Structure 1
């Protein structure tokens, strides 16, 4: 607020506030309105002077007519856009409750002093976390997660390799995974720099490490739970759950980059996940005749980990007999396909 506005504020209370917005809807500049009409343009004679080459000297005028706010367009070639309507020179429109408008290349929003104040909106937790991490020491933000992630990667490599495997095998695998994680965080940080004006690399790296640990825990726990409870579907859906964790990570990254578009981002990520899973299941049905790629539980821990009693071998034999008709049908189809290929090859 300049000195002239401070002087007027002692005489009369403001009747409205005009806000200039950026492309994300954030306020760049605000101007108090003490009387109507309010002239807007590039001319110094205007009440609100805007430095926009796409504006006329007296581009538009806001006025209170019988208690309702009206917008009058001056002599301009670009006019104004209010909602889905493009106003030309000389046109008048009652704004009503839709008080967001575009004059030239400038977005404005008008708030009346008489209207009720909108309730406070909750701030996304990722945005709050990123603001705290920007001033926090490195070791408090990322280093603990980084150490835990490296230990988990080392343990996974130890399980996958034979005894006596050289140490450099473990180190190379860990460095490759770590480099991929840091590159992933850098990619999203560049998007943050593009849309928010700040890199926020540590915030994106923290998200990548957290969701990576979550996926590692689920990928290990689901097959073990399937073995312990005899619910094989828990192991079969591990890929679906992994895709969900990846989509949740993308959603969290986009939440930092586009905090003002949370609803659209959520809808887009959910749609992407649903379509991807649907196509995955459809392709599996076409190729293998079942929904999931995994045919059996992949984990084989000690028998003492079982929480349910083992089934007798007669149940296995009975289930195998039930598969006979299906397998015979599949074998005949495969033989028919092979015969067609042989005939086609002979014709060539």
Structure 2
């Protein structure tokens, strides 16, 4: 008669199980076994940092276990908490502990299964993945080349436009490769193309949205539209890190989200302080690229109103002129 395993103990390699030991219950519904390097141990591990009999594990009928550490030099780690020989710790289902250099995960039959994760990429009818990637590359490269062309001098040679495009391509490729290496470390696969596609999608979205916001600010004479345009790169980078992290670290989403939110809040604080001496916060003081006048939808203002607004800037500009870039007052001797 086949018995149902009470639990599995996974030996982890990254976030993936390198090997698993099925543990079957005794008559009372629980199970006991020893862990160590000795061949007498039910879970025999080839780890030089373990004692011959390193720990004794008692798996209960309910979804938890108790680990008692036997005499050893290294004890065990539960998260950031180090336990020495003689200590006893509660090991919850799906929890991870480290003994020596070996990370172990407990999967209990009585514990509810986690929800199935959404697929990283779905199969759709239509364009092949290679053609989609080519179109993304052309779109991002074309928009980037257009932006470089707008900001360049009229007599700039065409070869000068190629350099920033190559630098952008190298930066995007390195970013995707680093995330693929992180995924290889934790998930044992190297999805470079998937990371590259997500990076290009975010970059394309940022480029298009930034152009639309800038154009809207000019057409409607609404400078406040430049506020989200200024914040857009930082917000997009934070979103991209979270999106890429769903591939590389699917079981550490809460930790990754907390780190990204903390970094984003820190960036906002420093960015706010860095713009202390600017005339307007979170946006450039003027539009660097002007569209054709025919696209203006906002009503024209008379010249007298423009001169009146310019006169109102005299005192604030004079006050700013008396301070250095750090905001300190400039003495007359200086």
TM-score normalised by the chain length of structure 2 = 0.77
Q: Which residue of 2 aligns with 1:306?
A: 296
2: distance between equivalents of 1:311 and 1:196? 61
1: distance between equivalents of 2:254 and 2:91? 26
**Pair 1:38–1:253, CA change in 2 (3 A):** same
2: distance between equivalents of 1:182 and 1:99? 35
Q: CA deviation at 1:232?
A: 0.4
2: distance between equivalents of 1:189 and 1:45? 40
RMSD: 3.6
Larger radius of gyration: 1
Q: CA deviation at 1:233?
A: 2.0
Q: Which residue of 1 aligns with 2:83?
A: 86
- Asked whether the 8 Å contact 2:93–2:106 carries over to 1, the reply is no
Give the counterpart of 2:330 among 309, 316, 337: 337
**Pair 1:227–1:66, CA change in 2 (3 A):** closer
**Pair 1:32–1:212, CA change in 2 (3 A):** same
Give the counterpart of 1:101 among 97, 102, 108: 97
2: distance between equivalents of 1:332 and 1:65? 74
More helix by share: 1
CA offsets, 1:229-273, max 9 Å, x none?
A: 221021254232123223333444444433332222222223223
- Asked whether the 8 Å contact 1:223–1:235 carries over to 2, the reply is yes
2: distance between equivalents of 1:314 and 1:98? 72
1: distance between equivalents of 2:65 and 2:268? 50
Partner secondary structure for residue 27 of structure 1: strand
- Asked whether the 8 Å contact 1:60–1:74 carries over to 2, the reply is yes
Would you say how many aligned residue pairs link Structure 1 and Structure 2? 321
- Asked whether the 8 Å contact 2:13–2:186 carries over to 1, the reply is no
- Asked whether the 8 Å contact 1:141–1:202 carries over to 2, the reply is no
2: distance between equivalents of 1:164 and 1:66? 79
- Asked whether the 8 Å contact 1:70–1:94 carries over to 2, the reply is yes
Tell me whether 147-156 or 63-72 shows the greater mean CA deviation. Answer: 63-72
Q: Which residue of 2 aligns with 1:4?
A: none
Gaps of 5+ in 2: none
Give the counterpart of 1:41 among 36, 42, 56: 36
Tell me whether 160-169 or 260-269 shows the greater mean CA deviation. Answer: 160-169
**Pair 1:27–1:132, CA change in 2 (3 A):** farther
Q: Which residue of 2 aligns with 1:229?
A: 220
TM-score normalised by the chain length of structure 1 = 0.75
- Confirm or deny that 1:325 pairs with 2:318: no
Structure 1 residue runs of 4 or more that deviate by more than 6 Å after TM superposition = 65-68, 162-165
1: distance between equivalents of 2:49 and 2:4? 32
Q: Which residue of 2 aligns with 1:17?
A: 8
2: distance between equivalents of 1:13 and 1:211? 47
**Pair 1:278–1:168, CA change in 2 (3 A):** same
2: distance between equivalents of 1:254 and 1:53? 33
Partner secondary structure for residue 340 of structure 1: coil
CA offsets, 1:119-149, max 9 Å, x none?
A: 31534x6xx13x979xx97623521211222
**Pair 1:110–1:291, CA change in 2 (3 A):** same
Partner secondary structure for residue 277 of structure 1: helix
**Pair 1:117–1:236, CA change in 2 (3 A):** closer
- Asked whether the 8 Å contact 1:18–1:30 carries over to 2, the reply is yes
Partner secondary structure for residue 63 of structure 1: strand
Q: CA deviation at 1:173?
A: 4.8
Q: Which residue of 2 aligns with 1:294?
A: 284
2: distance between equivalents of 1:176 and 1:66? 59
- Confirm or deny that 1:278 pairs with 2:278: no
Q: Which residue of 1 aligns with 2:49?
A: 54
**Pair 1:37–1:332, CA change in 2 (3 A):** closer
